[in-house]
Amino acid sequence: MPFNTLSFLLFLIVVFSAHRIARSWRAKKLILLAASLLFYAAWNPPFILLLLAITVVTWWLVRLVQLQESEAIRKRYLVASVFVLLIPLAYFKYAAFVLEQFVAALAVAGVQFKPAPFDVMLPIGISFYTFHALSYTIDVYRRQTLAPASLLDFALYMSFFPQLVAGPIVRASHFLPQLDTPRTVTGQQVGWGLALFVLGLFQKTVLADTIFAPVVDQLYNSPQSASAWDAWAGVLAFSGQIFCDFAGYSTCAIGLALCFGFIFPLNFRSPYGAIGFSDFWRRWHISLSSWLRDYLYIPLGGGRGTTLRVGRNLMVTMLLGGLWHGASLMFLFWGGLHGTYLLLERLGRRHLRLIGRYFSSAGMAVATFLVATLTWIPFRASDAGNALAVLSALARPGFPDLPPGTLFASSGCSLALVILHIWGRDRTSGGWFLAIPRPAQTMLLGICLIGIFLVSGGEPRAFIYFQF
């Protein structure tokens, strides 16, 4: 049930009305839990059993972790809980990939092996709710948060529908305390939440799906015939598409949560205005990058130790971050590139400061954006051959095949997006909207609604991060 469908709008109206009518806080939470499970079951009902099983077993094991005094026993329960969480993820998301690499390795060794077809459907959102549960488990073990006494509260944390299938990755320490006391929802919160929902939906349906996606699809479907005009328009358009698609979803999720009185953390903060890749990862998919930092990079040793050790920590973190996005060598390569950038940036910190004296912050941000844009190529490409064909097209002479209007709209929106991010890099996210006069806010939301209406109809595109 994607956000950009009429069925979701009807679902939201019913759930919001029932939530407002309910008298007790427990009844409100039960309504949200039932609605969240129905929301998830709308994709594939049997997978709701997997989500429920992971929820119940994790809740039980983590309570045992908290109750134990012996550190050895606590660690055993921690390992058991992590094992329970990672096995489904490994099976559904990575088993076919591992089998494929194993067959390829045998072929290199001269051994021909043809296994039975391994075709398993990936449960939607499994990477997100697994990371929710992992952070909760580790935080309880570290005594940084307490296990909730109520299975209802934990189940709602795991399945709350705004962020269930594509984030943000909300920490238990952030969300569970909000369930302790009734949330009083004001009219202003509902109004701001709906405004965020409209702005996010506009990013998704109008910018990502209508303006950027056709240009991206044309390039990656036939890069051999693309001129440099088309190729550059396509790679720039993908930077716009993936941001507007994912940031649009996150904005919708934050807005929907606010309508029910819950505060979600910011997930994007002008990432295309970043200066360098350390700054980029402090601004892009913040809930994932901070998760990887706190539960992988720092436990590995973080920035402490020799250059070799720090480089290892960075590469392991970014390679696993790449694999989190998908079981593919292309995602692994994309993560490795970002790990390399972070390492080179760390090694050349002194030289970068000298360069910064001669170039403006805007120039440094544009340079970072261009490298990030080129690095999106293996992320979007279907395979290495497709990625190399796109790279070759960037230098191919010729006239554009794209219609002038399409080329102008896509390139203009890409440029506007970068300018907006550079302008907003040191400003509070969303502050620009609050700063403009109320009539201008109303007019902007009206334009967004008209745009959403004009592009509605037909088969809606799923959010890109649903596949992760």
Catalytic amino acids? 325
Distance, in Å, from the CA atom of 355 to the CA atom of 440, rounded to the nearest integer, reads 40
Residues 6+ away with beta carbon under 8 Å from 198: 255, 445, 448, 449, 452
Residues 6+ away with beta carbon under 8 Å from 140: 62, 65, 66, 146, 147
Look up residue 207 and give its DSSP letter: I
Handedness of CA 113, 118, 122, 126 (dihedral sign): negative
Tell me if 290 sits within 8 A of 312, measured CB to CB: no
For residue 168, cis peptide bond before it (omega within 30 degrees of 0): yes
How many Cβ atoms sit within 10 Å of the Cβ of residue 108? 7
Distance, in Å, from the CA atom of 193 to the CA atom of 378, rounded to the nearest integer, reads 35
Residues 6+ away with beta carbon under 8 Å from 395: 228
445 conformational bin, left if phi > 0, alpha if psi -120 to 50, beta if neither: alpha
284 phi and psi, to 5 degrees?
-100, 130
Going from the C-alpha of 120 to that of each of 37, 85, 146, 252, 435, the distances in angstroms are 22, 18, 36, 30, 49
